[in-house]
Amino acid sequence: MKTHCANLKNSIAEGLAPQERRPTAPRLVGRASWRAISHEGAFTMIEIAIAIGVIGFALVAIIGILPVGLNVQRDTHEDVIIGQDGPFFLEAIRNGGSTLGPGTSTSLDFLTNYVDSITVGGAAAPKPTSGQMILGLLSTPNTSTSAIIRGLTGPATEQSGSNALMAFRYKLDVMIEPFTSFPSNAVGSPSEGQHLSTNLYEVRLKISWPVRPNGAVGPGRQSYRTLVSGQLLPNTNSTPPLWFFQPDNYSSSL
């Protein structure tokens, strides 16, 4: 009996000993592991300096390319505006007006929000008050006509006269002359050639941009050229006279 109790006592002691040692052993191992990991995982000052240097080189490269990208985006945006506005004015001049009285080309009255000024033959024309007046002045033949125009197809913040100070501007030069550049063998008789020169006109547009606040014009250039058949007649009821193409009318008398 005594032997059995002694063995039981020893078994209990042996079973409790590991449990008594468990609270201290893991803490010692955990601290040692934490110290080793924290010591081996830290960055040195040299490594930090190299990382900052790499980031600095990347930032310098990005900052150096950024202005180039912005300039390309601006130039592309201006080219798109010119590519849309040029054909618009060319077609407007070609179509002219169906009549020479009041109401001609009233669908173009919105242009008064975009045309800042018009010069005909070197003289400043009155401030345009209608689309009829703008189209009639731009269609003046045998003289140099120019206009300062804000982009028709720019961003929404620049439409309908908004943000006029920051809007993109360009200079539109219009030249309209009778077309006489055809060989003599292309017509049957001199009278036929005279008839063609009376009813056929060459329209040339030159667009220069951008127009800067001081009035200087930038290096952008684009030209459009077409032939328009029909009569070009003036409306003498206005001062200066307004001219309009009449595509449906042709002069048969010489």
Count of CB atoms situated within 10 Å of the CB of 133: 25
For residue 220, is pLDDT > 50? yes
**Given a cut of 60, is residue 112 above it in pLDDT?**
yes
User: Phi, psi at residue 219, to the nearest 5°?
Assistant: -85, -5
Q: Tell me the β-bridge partners of 54.
A: none
Taking each helix axis as running N to C, give the angle between helix 131-138 and helix 45-95, from 0 to 180 degrees, rounded to the nearest 10. 80
Return the HEC string of 2-38.
HHHHHHHHHHHHHHHHHHHHCCHHHHHHHHHHHHHHH
Which runs of consecutive H residues, i.e. helices, occur in 22-160? 24-40, 45-95, 131-138
For 170-214, what is each residue's pLDDT tens digit?
999 999 999 877 765 666 666 666 677 778 899 999 999 999 988
Provide the percentage of residues in the chain whose pLDDT is more than 70. Answer: 71
- Distance, in Å, from the CA atom of 75 to the CA atom of 73, rounded to the nearest integer, reads 6
The predicted-structure confidence for 74-91, as pLDDT tens digits, reads as follows 899 999 999 999 999 999
Reported as a pLDDT band with limits 50, 70 and 90, residue 109 is confident
Residue-level pLDDT at 237: 79
Please, what is the Cα angle at 114 between 111 and 115, to 5 degrees?
A: 85
Of 44-53, 88-97, 135-144, 180-189, which range is least confident? 180-189
Q: Is the pLDDT of residue 46 over 70?
A: yes
Three-state secondary structure call for residue 220: strand
104, pLDDT greater than 70: no
> What's this model's pTM, rounded to 2 decimal places?
0.71
With 0-12 CB in 10 A as exposed, 13-18 as middle and 19+ as buried, what is 175? middle
Residues 105, 97 contacting (CB under 8 angstroms): yes
